[in-house]
Amino acid sequence: MAEYRIDDLARAAGTTVRNVRVYQDRGLLPAPRREGRTGIYGEPHLARLRLIASLLEKGYTFAHIAEFLEAWQRGRNLTDLLGLEEVLTTPWSDEVDDYVTWEQVVERYGADQLTDDNVRVALEQELLVPEGDRFRVPSPRLLHAGSELVKAGIPLGIVLGLSASLARDMEASAARLVGAVADHVVLPAAQSYDASLAEIGELINRLKPLAQLAVDAHLARAMERQVRATVQAHMEQAAEGPAAAS
């Protein structure tokens, strides 16, 4: 299991050392193991920090977060709680952030495509995240797919619009799927006297590949139908052209 000093932990969680200390002072983050005067943190601390950040982003206050954690810990096993936190905060994708320079972006997309509006939209969608004199790429696959579509002849503005539309569709689909699982499985289990946090965490882990399989299957079928229909429509138009001319 990975171990962190406080500055390494803050960096891995995308926060600051000051925030880590504030969370500890407020009782939201367990104390580190001590080796002399150095505090040593582990993966459970990183998972807890990610959970705190997620809850803060959703508008919860420190008081709400403390109540949430206290409620879960009463009568529960702390190890189970931290295990569930890790399940909830572990990325679902195996992608690793990449970094590119502005020159590399220009090389991939072409200077003519990188208008002020297109760059602004790319930053808003967090396809590129400025960090110093370079950009962090949270999803290298999206960046690669976008550059290939542009090379195929689709303007970057259209590609960015498609990306935004697809992201909205996926967000809505994910909300419906997670809502169904939460309403019919997770919440009844959590309300049960014998509910096991480990079992709930295991259920969420099982949901990951199932969700990916469902999305892949539906997208493949939809693409097949749309490609077939589009090709057929173009062939019919081509056949009508000479007939109309004669």
| Cβ-based neighbours of 210, under 8 Å, separated by 6 or more | none
Q: What is the pLDDT of residue 244?
A: 53
Cα 185 from Cα 203, distance rounded (Å): 9
Q: What is the pLDDT of residue 88?
A: 59
Lowest mean pLDDT among 122-131, 141-150, 160-169, 209-218: 209-218
Are 167 and 226 part of one and the same domain?
Answer: no
Cα 27 from Cα 19, distance rounded (Å): 12
Out of 61, 89, 117, pick the residue that ends a domain. 89
Q: What is the pLDDT of residue 194?
A: 47
Are 48 and 138 part of one and the same domain?
Answer: no
Rounded to 5°, the CA angle 174-177-182 comes to 115
Q: What is the pLDDT of residue 243?
A: 56
pLDDT over threshold 90, residue 130: yes
Tens of pLDDT, residues 33-57 = 999 989 999 988 998 898 888 778 8
pLDDT over threshold 80, residue 60: no
What is the span of the domain harbouring residue 204? 196-246
Cα 12 from Cα 79, distance rounded (Å): 21
Tens of pLDDT, residues 85-106 = 566 556 677 788 899 999 999 9
Rounded to 5°, the CA angle 74-78-83 comes to 125
Identify any residues that bridge with 134 across adjacent strands, giving them in sequence order: 131
Are 187 and 138 part of one and the same domain?
Answer: yes
CB 99, CB 137: distance < 8 Å: yes
Query: Which has more confidence, 206 or 233?
Result: 233
Q: What is the mean pLDDT of residues 150-179?
A: 91
The confidence band for 211, taking pLDDT boundaries of 50, 70 and 90, is: confident
Are 177 and 144 part of one and the same domain?
Answer: yes
* pTM for the model: 0.57
Out of 89, 118, 136, pick the residue that ends a domain. 89
The confidence band for 72, taking pLDDT boundaries of 50, 70 and 90, is: low
Out of 89, 115, 145, pick the residue that ends a domain. 89
